A and B are shown apart, each in its own frame.
Chain A
Amino acid sequence: MSTAKKLLVTTMAASGALAGTLAASMATAQEDAGEVNVYSYRQPFLIEPFLKEFTEETGIETNIIFSDKGLTERIKREGRNSPADVVLTVDIGRLQELVDQDVTQPIEDETIESNIPEQYFGENNEWVGLTSRARVFFTSVERMEPGEIETYEDLADPRFEGRICTRPASNAYNVALVASMIAEHGEEETKKWLEGFKNNLARKPQGNDRAQVKAIRDGVCDIAIGNTYYYGKMMEDEEQRSWAEAARIEFPNQDGRGTHVNISGMALAKHAPNEENAYELMRFLTEKTAQSMYADVNYEYPLNPDVKPSETVASWGDFKADDVSLAEVSSLRRRATELINEVGFDN
Chain B
Amino acid sequence: MKGTVIATDEFVERQSTVSSKRIGTHWGWFITAWSVAALVVLPVVAVIFLAFTGHDGGGSVWTHLAETVLPGYIATSLKLMVGVALLTGSIGVITAWLVTMYQFPLRRFYEWSLLLPFAVPANVIAYVYTDVLEYAGPLQNVLRDLFGWNSPRDYWFPEIRSLGGAVVMLSLVLYPYVFMLARAAFLEQSAALRDVSRTLGCNGFQSFWRVALPSARPAIAVGLALSLMEALNDFGTVDYFAVRTMTAGIFNVWLNMGSVRGAAQIALCLMVFIVGLIWIERHARRRQRQFGKGDQFRCYRRPRLTTGWGWLASLACFLPFGLGFIFPVGILTRHAIVYFEQSWTDRFVEYAFNSFTLSITAALLTLIIGVLLAYAKRLDRTRSVQHALKLSSLGYAMPGAVIGIGVLIPLASFDNGVDAFMRDTFGISTGLLLTGSMAAIIIAYVVRFLAVSAGAIEASLDKVTPSMDMASRSLGENSLRTLWRVHLPLIRPGLLTAALVVFVDAMKELPATLLLRPFNFDTLATNVYQYASDSLLEMAALPALVIVVVGVLPVIIISRTIVASRNEV
Contact = CB atoms under 8 A, between A and B. Distances in A.
A69 B256 contact: no
A37 B431 CA distance: 15
Interface string A30-56: 000000010000011100000000000
Nearest to B258: A97
A215 B151 CA distance: 11
Contact of B256 (A66, A80, A172): A172
Interface residues of A, number: 70
B360 interface: yes
Contacts of A219: 150-152
B205 to A, nearest CB: 41
Interface in B375-429: 401, 404-405, 408-409, 412-413, 415-416, 419, 429
A334 to B, nearest CB: 5
Given A93-B256, A100-B57, A204-B242, A29 B436 contact: yes
B87 interface: no
B256 A170 contact: yes
Contact of B437 (A25, A208, A214, A344): A25
A265 interface: no
A81 B416 contact: yes
A207 interface: yes
Contacts of B152: 218-220
A45 B531 contact: yes
A207 B242 CA distance: 7
A77 B514 contact: no
A216 B360 CA distance: 47
B432 A29 contact: yes
B437 to A, nearest CB: 4
Contacts of B518: 25, 28-29, 65
B437 A29 contact: yes
A124 interface: no
B318 to A, nearest CB: 31
Contacts of B322: none
A175 B58 CA distance: 17
B183 interface: no
Given A73-B260, A219-B150, A346 B405 contact: no
B242 A346 contact: yes
Nearest to B76: A347
Contacts of A37: 519
Interface stretch (A130-138, A252-260, A283-291, A335-343): A335-343
A11 B436 contact: no
Interface in A46-80: 63-71, 73-74, 77-80
Nearest to A73: B405
Given A7-B484, A28-B520, A344-B72, A81 B364 contact: no
B365 A77 contact: no
A68 B151 CA distance: 36
Given A25-B437, A63-B520, A67-B515, A168 B242 contact: yes
A346 B533 contact: no
A132 to B, nearest CB: 19
Interface stretch (A15-23, A182-190, A307-315, A317-325): A15-23
A159 B136 CA distance: 26
A101 B55 CA distance: 7
B521 A25 contact: yes
A114 interface: no
Nearest to B418: A81
Contacts of B442: 18, 21
Given A218-B135, A346-B242, A341 B65 contact: yes
B485 interface: yes
B480 A65 contact: no
A17 B360 contact: yes
Interface in B426-466: 429, 431-439, 442
B438 A337 contact: no
A66 B434 CA distance: 19
A69 B401 contact: yes
B358 interface: yes
A298 B448 CA distance: 36
Contacts of A170: 252, 256
Contact of B412 (A63, A78, A168, A217): A78
Contacts of A43: 530-531, 533-534
Contacts of B481: 3-4
Interface in A196-247: 204-208, 210-211, 214-215, 217-220, 243
B508 interface: no
A18 B58 contact: no
A334 B258 contact: yes
Contacts of B337: none
Contacts of B258: 93, 97, 100, 333-334
- Give 6 closest A-B pairs by Cβ, nearest first: A63-B519, A77-B412, A341-B68, A3-B484, A206-B242, A25-B437
Interface of B: 55, 57-58, 64-65, 67-69, 72, 135-136, 150-152, 161, 241-242, 244, 251-252, 254-260, 357-358, 360-361, 364-365, 368, 401, 404-405, 408-409, 412-413, 415-416, 419, 429, 431-439, 442, 480-481, 484-485, 511, 514-521, 526, 530-531, 533-535
18 contacts: A11-B368, A24-B438, A28-B521, A44-B530, A64-B520, A67-B515, A68-B533, A69-B255, A70-B408, A78-B435, A207-B242, A218-B136, A219-B152, A243-B136, A334-B257, A337-B257, A342-B67, A342-B68
Interface of A: 3-4, 6-7, 10-11, 13-14, 17-18, 21-22, 24-26, 28-29, 37, 43-45, 63-71, 73-74, 77-83, 93, 97, 100-101, 168, 170, 172, 175, 204-208, 210-211, 214-215, 217-220, 243, 333-334, 337-338, 341-342, 344, 346-347
